[in-house]
A = this chain, B = another copy of it.
């Protein structure tokens, strides 16, 4: 082990949240390795060691983890919509591969795994809005079930082997490096349509309420979770505020100074009508707070898009 050996690895480091996390870690002077199937923004990962590999490839995973003490687990090989169409394969690629990750991490003496779960999906339809971490978890999407199952195995490994973990149940993320076209990230899709003068398809009537959180704030929470020594394991990370899609569109129109062309389409069955996270636990235990007001996040995201001319 040389002096340059990374002390933390970001699994899924080539994706939207992963790139944001890696950049922050590198800029703070951490030695960081990113592992993933592909890196969408290689030019933006200066100072980060990039390691290409598949999450299901145990040998590649073990090599990427090496002597890292902290593992950020940001991988999910399916989107919510596609997981519902491939439930068994979702379990194989995500749950079973996460079991392999746990076993590798135990053997390599990893100290902490920080896992990104889905605050918008693991609870399912719930009367508790905003929804605290203690609410029942009855997802109506296979994606939510596999996320939840991985959370449970993390707890089991800590209980059996002392491998500590933290779970962040993150709300609807947006910000720089999020690309449209994967049925994820409505804000990226909206900005893309706006900048390219394309029509935007609304799912349902636009009344679905979501909790939008700017990516920089989520990166803050990931770093705090990596060193948290509290008794808590699971933290909601969101703005704590709900916005329906029509409000989001209005805010974006105001920010861009243009009018978006929208078209309504059929609602997705896997959607819950309202998802707002109660985030008091992260406030009080992690000392975390979202720093970025929604309109500021939107402005910064639009600025990033314009700088890239994507």
Contact = CB atoms under 8 A, between A and B. Distances in A.
Contacts of A148: 149, 152
Contact of A87 (B134, B138, B145, B153): B153
B156 A145 contact: yes
A140 interface: yes
Contact of A95 (B84, B91, B138, B160): B91
Contacts of A136: 134
Contacts of A92: 92, 96
A84 B153 CA distance: 11
A163 B233 CA distance: 34
A91 B96 contact: yes
A159 interface: yes
A12 interface: no
A9 to B, nearest CB: 22
Given A91-B91, A138-B152, A145-B149, 7 more contacts: A84-B160, A88-B99, A134-B136, A137-B152, A139-B152, A140-B160, A149-B149
Interface of A: 84, 87-88, 91-92, 95-96, 99-100, 134, 136-142, 145, 148-149, 152-153, 155-156, 159-160, 269
Closest 7 CB pairs of A and B: A145-B152, A140-B159, A149-B149, A88-B96, A88-B99, A87-B99, A138-B155
